[in-house]
Amino acid sequence: MPEKTKSRPRSGCPVSMSLEQFGDRWSLLIVRDMMVRGHRTFKEFQGSGEGISSNILADRLKTLEAAGILMTEPDETDARRMNYRLTQKGIDLAPVMLELLIWGAKYEATAAPCGLIDQMEKGREQVLAETRRRWRERDSTPLIPRFDEMPQDTSTRSNERRKK
């Protein structure tokens, strides 16, 4: 886990403080799942295609909750299900997420279609506005699909090599 009780003293730099919160390989992926794929349950996070182990997932959810980035609420229709939801602090990570996505799509071979990325790069504010709207209205339809399950169409080139 990033840290909880034992964080060693860092400089007061905001970048450093941010990284202390989610400077690991998993935390932001969980936030991504909630933010753009509408995931809300433990099970959904587990099946998001990155292969996180359940103990790590449980730990990260706890850490993110403790950090005030997400909150939990028991499901109304199924008592064993727990719903996770981003807080304002969490949804405010949207700009970070978007820039991460744009950079990754530009430099790493990904399965994301160019067209979609170009569109997001040109219309940052619009994407962010839509992301916030979805959060406010608890609209959990995916904003962005899973790239490993996308139908390949000719107008969206990509460096494909997907399975499943």
Partner DNA sequence: AGATTCACTTGCGAAATACAAGTGAATAAT
Partner DNA sequence: ATTATTCACTTGTATTTCGCAAGTGAATCT
Q: Which residue ranges make up the site for a second copy (CB under 8 A)?
A: 2, 8-21, 23-25, 28-29, 32, 48-51, 68, 89, 92-93, 95-112, 117, 146-148, 158, 160, 162
CA 87 – CA 100 distance, rounded (Å): 20
> Side-chain half-sphere of 161: how many Cα atoms within 13 Å?
3
Q: Crossing angle, helix 27-36 and helix 94-107, to 10 degrees?
A: 100
- Of DNA, a second copy, none, which one does residue 21 interact with (CB within 5 to 8 Å by kind)? a second copy
- Residue 8: both structure tokens together: 């060693």
Shortest distance (Å) from residue 158 CB to a second copy:
8
- Of a second copy, DNA, none, which one does residue 15 interact with (CB within 5 to 8 Å by kind)? a second copy
Shortest distance (Å) from residue 123 CB to DNA:
34
| Residue among 61 and 105 whose Cβ is closer to DNA | 61
Shortest distance (Å) from residue 81 CB to DNA:
4
Contact at 8 Å (CB) between 104 and 153? Answer: no
Shortest distance (Å) from residue 154 CB to DNA:
35
| Residue among 55 and 155 whose Cβ is closer to DNA | 55
| Residue among 90 and 113 whose Cβ is closer to DNA | 90
CA 2 – CA 22 distance, rounded (Å): 7
| Residue among 42 and 147 whose Cβ is closer to DNA | 42
Shortest distance (Å) from residue 132 CB to DNA:
25
CA 36 – CA 139 distance, rounded (Å): 10
DSSP H/E element including 149: none
Query: What distance, in Å, lies between the first and last C-alpha atoms of the chain?
Result: 30
